[in-house]
Amino acid sequence: MINYFNYPEKKNWHEILQRPAQDLSKLEAIVLEVFNAIKTERDRAVFNYTKKFDGVELEDMRVTDEELKEAEKLVDDDLKNAMQVAKANIEKFHVSQKEEVKIIETVGGVKCWRKNLPIEKVGLYIPGGTSPLFSTVLMLGIPAKIANCSEIVLCSPPNKDGKIHPAILYASQLIGITKIFKIGGIQAIGAMAYGTETVPKVFKIFGPGNQYVTAAKQLVYKTGTAIDLPAGPSELLIVGDNMANPGFIAADLLSQAEHGADSQVIFVTWEKELILKVQKKVEQQLKELPRKEIAQKALDNSKFILVKNKEDAIALTNEYAPEHLILAVEDEDFFTDKVQNAGSVFIGNYTPESAGDYASGTNHTLPTNGFAKAYSGVSVESFMKKITFQKITSEGLQTIGPIIEKMAEAEELEAHRRAISIRTRSSFEEI
């Protein structure tokens, strides 16, 4: 079931580490159809597609206060308490991401600074399906609140009874998100990107989803709505040596594998015997899992790679750029110093990926598919943008004016040059 690679040559790494290609072009026609309908028929189109795709006829797409109250009753106290603790941890880490304004005087009389401001209107998409992903409500909603976005819209598909899972509604309430809509898939992304009578138009859309949601997000990006991250299946790469516990590694690999048949699971080591030990533990533990069919499929594509040494292990890791990276190694500093490309890193035997998925405090919305080479995971900054400011005194402009004039002249932009000379070569009153 597992694919083994023994000391693969460097030139073959790229091929070994290939992810399955995603071709969403076939989905574009249906996405465009839904978007065009939403742009013209707005709410009516959303109701129609909800009936068509989710199989439910809604009277109101808004979640009412009564439904929120009902959800609060349905969620048990232990889960409420767990969410509250997770919220506190996530808040503590994310609040530390807020930045102070630093005013820099680049030359005398020339002051420059940046100010962090919230993106005013943001949309969060929470998928439906088998698992109610209330943890994603926390991971997106908490930084949105810390950023102080003035309008936070949340969409999640209704089930056959026209309801959203109570845990999702409770998590939303806990954070203070009140504009919640029972809309799923393409129509949710379209409604938030273009706006309808009921759903406010937002400037940036966050959240995971299936291929249709991914294709829809790609398309709204092209027409000017920002998105959090390009999407791909979830991934875990573990580097382990003899200080690692094979049972722990197996448990972590399986926790990734149960996400979906397309999950990417990779184990890298330079300890030959460890591979067999981990494999044995994987086989044992797999049997006990309720989602073993899904996990099995993911394991069929998993890769156990034996490398020569630590240097090759980190080089291969950086080449792959995993979403999640577990370092169960003796020489932690060697690896943490050299890791270049990864979404989130879990260090040591007692830092499983599950911790970051739920409650350590870091965000679980992370770059997949090798995007960690250029993208960061979601943070408070993802919900903000920076504006630069500059203020120059009359004296400051006398200092840098000639520099600007010379450069503008060389770029053959005479009006740029004159915007300086009109200020530096005559008195205010003469103009």
**Catalytic amino acids?**
323-324
Q: Which amino acid appears at position 59 of this protein?
A: E
Q: Which is nearer to its own copies, 61 or 237 (CB)?
A: 237
Q: Cβ(24)–Cβ(215) under 8 Å?
A: yes
Q: Which is nearer to its own copies, 14 or 51 (CB)?
A: 14
CB 276, min distance to its own copies, A: 16
- Helix (H, G, I), strand (E, B), or coil: what is residue 83? helix
CB 226, min distance to its own copies, A: 4
| DSSP per position, 376-406 | ----GGGGEEEEEEEEE-HHHHHHHHHHHHH
CB 6, min distance to its own copies, A: 26
Count of beta carbons in the 10 Å neighbourhood of residue 49: 22
d(CA 376, CA 344): 9
CB 288, min distance to its own copies, A: 8
d(CA 38, CA 220): 13
Q: Cβ(235)–Cβ(324) under 8 Å?
A: yes
Q: Can you list the alpha helix ranges (DSSP code H) found in 148-234?
A: 166-175, 185-194, 211-222
Contacts for 64 with CB less than 8 Å, ≥ 6 apart? none
CB 216, min distance to its own copies, A: 13
- With 0-12 / 13-18 / 19 or more C-beta atoms within 10 angstroms meaning exposed / middle / buried, residue 234 is buried
Contacts for 139 with CB less than 8 Å, ≥ 6 apart? 90, 363, 364, 365, 378
d(CA 163, CA 137): 16
Q: Cβ(90)–Cβ(356) under 8 Å?
A: no
CB 252, min distance to its own copies, A: 5
Q: Cβ(228)–Cβ(307) under 8 Å?
A: no
Q: Can you list the alpha helix ranges (DSSP code H) found in 290-347?
A: 292-300, 310-320, 332-338
Q: Which is nearer to its own copies, 34 or 327 (CB)?
A: 327
CB 204, min distance to its own copies, A: 5
Q: Which is nearer to its own copies, 252 or 312 (CB)?
A: 252
CA 11: distance to chain centroid? 31
Q: Which is nearer to its own copies, 61 or 216 (CB)?
A: 216
Contacts for 406 with CB less than 8 Å, ≥ 6 apart? none
What's the helix, strand, coil split of the chain in %, to 5?
50, 15, 35
Name the token pair of 29. 């026609």
| Cα 164 to Cα 132, 154, 208, 345, distances in angstroms | 9, 11, 16, 33
Q: Which is nearer to its own copies, 58 or 110 (CB)?
A: 110
CB 408, min distance to its own copies, A: 6
Q: Which is nearer to its own copies, 48 or 97 (CB)?
A: 97
Q: Which is nearer to its own copies, 7 or 20 (CB)?
A: 20
d(CA 323, CA 349): 19
